[in-house]
Structure 1
Amino acid sequence: MKESPTVLWSRPENERPGTPLLVIFHGYGADEADLFSLAEQLPAEFTVASVRAPLQAGPGYSWFPLRNDLGYSVTTVTESASAVELWIESVRTNHTSVSLLGFSQGMCMATTLMRHRPADYAAVVGLSGFVVEAEGDLYFDDAAVAAHKPELFWGRDQADPVIPAAAIESTNTWAHAHVKLTKVLYAGIMHGINAQEISHVGEFLQFKVLNAK
């Protein structure tokens, strides 16, 4: 990824300073426009930046390559996260806080960034996704995560046909040991998002970021 990825912003540049930032990561095969409409349904105080993933994948883009069994290389995950982190650092000083939201593969990105520098993010939202297996990679500072206990919202459908059961199980185990978890199940959304879930995300961001002591 280039240091300056393609980004859709919810505000013009002159209106961004002093606002909390919410960075959105789309899923596999989508692009930065895919989740951008969510910005209108979240607290208006946030500046939303929806980022395009670096790799071509079908009609859209991906954050890291997936094998046919949805397997992946941890190295490709951390390379992509490192590049996004450079961009976040370039805009961070304009904002009062930075939060992350990722859908599907985008949840891998959001949680990977949090696991690298947990104190840097006010809250993280993961929708219909999972956290990657660290496999001893030093990019993941899970000891710091467990000490800091960052806020994580995890929304999904138990009938999601895309995310493997083993990934859900390992995510659940990891989350309960490392973060302050808000976990909500939604029937009937499959591998998707509905209005109720976004309403809950908005409440979570309001309470955990905007109203945080």
Structure 2
Amino acid sequence: MTGDYTVEWTRPETQREGTPLAVLLHGHGANEQDLLGMVPGLPSEFTYASVRAQVSMGFSAYTWFDLDVERLAYSSAAARQAVDDLWEWIDSVRGQHSSVTLIGFSMGMAIATSLLRSRPEAFQAVVGLSGFAVDPQRGEGIEGFFDDEALRARHIPFFWGRDQADPIIPEDMVEYTHRWANSTVDLTKVLYAGAGHGVVPQEISHVGEFLRMAVLGRRVSPQRSH
């Protein structure tokens, strides 16, 4: 589904030129308001753009692609279509900014990692929270779409925050994501006990430190846990 996206911006258009852009990608059943509460805890140098997924679930709830919630089953081809559609919007705004970073929560992390894997050269850094990376074996139509070899060569900084006891993301998705991330990106992985399927204040603080280090160049880094 192509077309215009509903986007919540933290700066007016006249103040965005030359700033680093961070694109916020919400989870299944949420909307563009969902991740804006993180912004006050993140570096003010960025322009933040929170994008609403285009598949409506009713009652102000949206999803990036269809998902069997009970089994968390999905088609990688459906994920690819969502990413293809989002590229049109990203390409329309990225030239105004000094860099582009992605911040995705839950299914939004699946979209963020898929964008990164399809065009690694386009991004400065990526943050994934309580989510997963798309397994190309889950369905047809995604063969050749990801370029993990090119991604591996670029050493993109990647922050992955989650609770080891996350009740939503199945273990097989976590294991696949862990294998993929360890082999392709410059991984900072931090576990947050008690976060569940959510984001806690300490995590937001760590994401802010990561953005300062990976994008703004300040030497501050959260503790790593592999």
1:23-66 per-residue CA deviation (whole Å, 9 max, x = no partner) reads 00000000000111212211000000000001112530000111
1:165-200 per-residue CA deviation (whole Å, 9 max, x = no partner) reads 000011101111111000000000100001100000
Q: CA deviation at 1:102?
A: 0.3
Moved more, 49-58 or 135-144: 135-144
Task: Name the counterpart of 1:66.
Answer: 67
Task: Name the counterpart of 1:9.
Answer: 9
The letter of the residue matching 2:190 is: V
| Root-mean-square deviation over aligned CA pairs | 1.3
The letter of the residue matching 1:116 is: S
Please list every run of 5 or more consecutive structure 2 residues that lacks an aligned counterpart in the other structure: 220-226
1:186 paired to 2:187: no
Separation in 2, partners of 1:70, 1:164: 8
Structure 1 segment 61-210 matched on structure 2, within 5 A: 61-67=62-68, 68-135=70-137, 137-210=143-216
Aligned length: 213
**Identical aligned residues as a percent:** 52
Separation in 1, partners of 2:37, 2:164: 25
Q: CA deviation at 1:3?
A: 3.2
Separation in 2, partners of 1:98, 1:193: 22
Separation in 1, partners of 2:78, 2:162: 25
Distance 1:146 1:212, change over 3 A: farther
Moved more, 58-67 or 185-194: 58-67
Q: CA deviation at 1:212?
A: 7.0
Q: CA deviation at 1:153?
A: 0.3
Q: CA deviation at 1:4?
A: 2.2
Tell me, yes or no, if the aligned pair for 1:28 and 1:57 is still in contact at 8 Å: no
Separation in 1, partners of 2:10, 2:35: 12
Q: CA deviation at 1:137?
A: 1.9
Q: Give SS of 1:126's match.
A: strand
Question: Which contiguous aligned blocks of 4+ residues in structure 1 show a shift greater than 4 angstroms?
Answer: none
Separation in 2, partners of 1:134, 1:209: 29
The letter of the residue matching 1:196 is: Q
1:51 paired to 2:51: yes
Separation in 2, partners of 1:16, 1:2: 24
Separation in 2, partners of 1:120, 1:3: 21
Separation in 2, partners of 1:193, 1:57: 23
Q: Give SS of 2:73's match.
A: coil
Separation in 2, partners of 1:154, 1:3: 30
Q: CA deviation at 1:88?
A: 0.5
The letter of the residue matching 1:126 is: G
**What is the TM-score with the length of structure 2 in the denominator?**
0.91
Q: Give SS of 2:24's match.
A: strand
Please list every run of 5 or more consecutive structure 1 residues that lacks an aligned counterpart in the other structure: none
Tell me, yes or no, if the aligned pair for 1:119 and 1:150 is still in contact at 8 Å: no
